[in-house]
Copies of this chain bind each other. A is one copy, B any other.
Amino acid sequence: MKNIQVSTTSKKPIYQQLFEQISSNIIRGDLKTDSLLPSIRTAAKELRISVITVKKAWEELEQKGFIYTIPGKGCFIAKLTEHEKEKKKEEQILSRLKTHLSYYKSLGLQKEDLIDYIKKYY
């Protein structure tokens, strides 16, 4: 559970923060296939949140194919080829980029100006 942090004051739901961070870790390859995810209780305790909230995150991870569950044993990182990881990465990116870009457009921001902002702040 190192490297994972959640904010209870954020407007973003805790379970979603968890999902995003862990799925990102898997996509980046920091979490290897078949390695064990912390148990729901352990994670809940360390992050000082409820068991249910962690479960909700784990559920979404499983539903999206990032992990698999063995009842009584725990949750494990799913086997994903590099190709599949790249695909999921692109899915996550595009699903957001679309709404992000439409907002910048609505403000009248030009493509080049946005790129300048990114060069400056990335």
Contacts and interface: CB of A to CB of B under 8 A. Distances in A.
A36 to B, nearest CB: 22
How many copies of the chain does the oligomer comprise? 2
Given A114-B122, A115-B115, A115-B118, A24 B108 contact: yes
Nearest to A108: B28
**Size class of A's contact patch?**
20 to 34
A97 B111 contact: no
Interface majority SS (helix, strand, loop, mixed), chain A: helix
Contact of A111 (B28, B103, B106, B119): B119
B27 A108 contact: yes
Contacts of A93: 104, 107, 109, 117
Interface in A54-104: 89, 92-94, 96-98, 100-101, 103-104
Contacts of A20: 103, 106
Interface of A: 20-21, 24, 27-28, 89, 92-94, 96-98, 100-101, 103-109, 111, 114-115, 117-119, 121-122
